Structure 1
Amino acid sequence: MSKRTDTVLHITPAQYREYAEIAKAHGMVLRLFEQPARIIGLVGGLDPAAIDATSSSEIGSLVEAPFLLLCSSVNAGEVRRRGRNRYECDLSKLTDAEMYRFWLFHEIGHKANNYNTLSYQFKHFGKDPLYADTLRRMEYANEVLADRWAWSQVCDRPMPLTPRGQKHQEALAAELAYLDGITGGPRNHANPWPHVQPGRYNAVPLRMLARSDAALWIGPDVSPAVTRRAQEYEAKVQRNLGHYLPESLLFRSGGGHGSSAEHTFAALEVDDE
């Protein structure tokens, strides 16, 4: 349980089902993705999901729910190497057993303990001369807060700090106090969502059901009619990947490095100004 290797870690079907229940408890549905980019995970937007994957009914069978995406594999060695230069939390201290759970809860943390950048944009766009700079500072602080929240949920020891994190503790505290004054503080938006209920067959993203091995990941009682419709949906997705996450991030960024919405290995490094 305490191993730290340089191997590539893969989510197992049992882990997926466990993590999917955690996501549902926070009002989200979990979808895995595979791609050659270095994206680890992200939250945002809505995903179509089957309310009950065992039912063949078409009427009222779907819900759009907030999604949480995780890459099906993570290079633990690369995360640790780059994690030594992260904003505050030293990710090199994560064990293999903690690695995926940390990223799962980091993404949940963006809902459960973050400044609401959307509310700030709605209130201040075009009015605040420091708008762009403040928004950037909020996004930076949200990464720190998501790390702190994830560590508290996953690890049973004090959060280790990177050299940068040790150096800037006072500055970080002042920054968070400043943003608290502007926004009223972080908010918890990881709330229950209609029709997102616990249970392996409940609230299953269509793109998970479209997999040829859906029964392995979800369970043997998935309705064949549901998987067929999900595969038809996925065929449409594949015709224009630029409309769907996470693929659209790669198109926007010119391929491979993503945008600020997602978490990549490259994003682990922040300049020390």
Structure 2
Amino acid sequence: MKTDTTLRLSRTQYRAFAEQAKQAGCSLSLSTFRALGHCWGIFDPRARSVCLDVSADELAYTEGCGIQLSTNVDTARLRGNQRPEIDWSALEDHEIYPFIVAHEIGHRVDNFCYWDANRIEDDQARTRCVSVIRSINEVLADRYAWSQIRPGEPVPLCELGKTLQEEVAADIDLMDKHMPRVRRQPRALPAGRYLHIPEVMLRTDAHVSFIGTGVSAAAIELARRPRTYRRDSRSRAY
């Protein structure tokens, strides 16, 4: 079913998606469409603070990459979004959140690495790869998500996608030649509702409720404790 409505993420969905993200080596946190720069999801490869077990009174931390997910989705706006290949208007209401999560996981497991372009010796090839890597990574993430939502079904091409089919294929071939993707399954994080939770999820009661009632009150207090940053006033010679 397709409707023009606002989908709101449920706690049950968050917990299921968090476990799905962990299988790809990512922790999952929540945000808003506006705070995410008008995106419904973001894969962030940078290291961020993650709590090993939020049910414990004493928090232990690690660092890792993560996915941020918007707590609501305007279905009409999402279906009207212009993509480089796939027609998102084909998505049913119940497929939208799983597609978004799978799309961000796709950025983790099947994308070209931006840094690899710097090693391309052919100037012309490097310039072309740099100019298209963002759009090609979006194509690949969309394809990955579609394969997870509707396995075996051909991707539904938007009008732009139909006109760019040959160009996209040529760009992927060029990038695979000069900066090939490394396709390997990331090491999964430990499963469990209270394990490997981004510290930011403890900052508000609303976010804590998505995790569950077993979150330690002491852990919440520690995560919300004001930080004191001391300026290093030592003089240096440059």
Match of 1:160 in 2: 156
User: What's the secondary structure of 1:64's corresponding residue?
Assistant: strand
CA contact (8 A) 2:30 2:207 kept: no
Report the Cα offset of residue 55 of structure 1.
0.9
Match of 2:77 in 1: 78
1:15-46 Cα offsets, whole Å, 9 max, x none, are 00000000011000000112535222211212
Report the Cα offset of residue 215 of structure 1.
4.5
1:173-232 Cα offsets, whole Å, 9 max, x none, are 222111111112x22365116xx3110010011111222134521111111111111222
Match of 1:107 in 2: 104
Distance in 1 between the 2:172 and 2:208 partners? 45
Q: CA 1:215–1:69 in structure 2 vs 1: closer, same or farther (change >3 Å)? A: closer
Give structure 2 stretches of 5+ with no counterpart. Answer: 229-238
Distance in 2 between the 1:113 and 1:13 partners? 28
CA contact (8 A) 1:54 1:222 kept: yes
Distance in 2 between the 1:16 and 1:189 partners? 25
Count of residue correspondences: 223
Please, what is the CA RMSD of the aligned residues? 2.0
Match of 1:54 in 2: 55
Match of 2:141 in 1: 146
Report the Cα offset of residue 57 of structure 1.
2.0
CA contact (8 A) 1:115 1:183 kept: yes
CA contact (8 A) 1:9 1:73 kept: yes
CA contact (8 A) 1:111 1:189 kept: no
CA contact (8 A) 2:33 2:40 kept: no
Q: Percent identical across equivalent pairs?
A: 30
Give structure 1 stretches of 5+ with no counterpart. Answer: 237-273
Match of 1:19 in 2: 17
1:1-273 alignment, distance < 5 Å: 3-34=1-32, 36=34, 37-44=37-44, 45-58=46-59, 61-82=60-81, 85-121=82-118, 123-124=119-120, 129-130=123-124, 131-156=126-151, 157-184=153-180, 186-188=181-183, 191-192=186-187, 196-232=189-225
Q: Report the residue type matching 1:140 in the other structure.
A: S
CA contact (8 A) 1:6 1:77 kept: yes
User: What's the secondary structure of 1:108's corresponding residue?
Assistant: helix
User: What's the secondary structure of 1:203's corresponding residue?
Assistant: strand
CA contact (8 A) 2:111 2:141 kept: yes
Report the Cα offset of residue 54 of structure 1.
1.0
**TM-score, length-scaled by structure 2:** 0.86
Following superposition, which runs of at least 4 residues in structure 1 exceed 3 angstroms of deviation? 127-133
**TM-score, length-scaled by structure 1:** 0.76
CA contact (8 A) 2:54 2:219 kept: yes
Distance in 1 between the 2:8 and 2:183 partners? 30
Distance in 2 between the 1:135 and 1:67 partners? 24
Match of 2:234 in 1: none
Distance in 2 between the 1:113 and 1:133 partners? 20
Match of 1:259 in 2: none
User: What's the secondary structure of 1:158's corresponding residue?
Assistant: coil
Distance in 1 between the 2:92 and 2:131 partners? 31
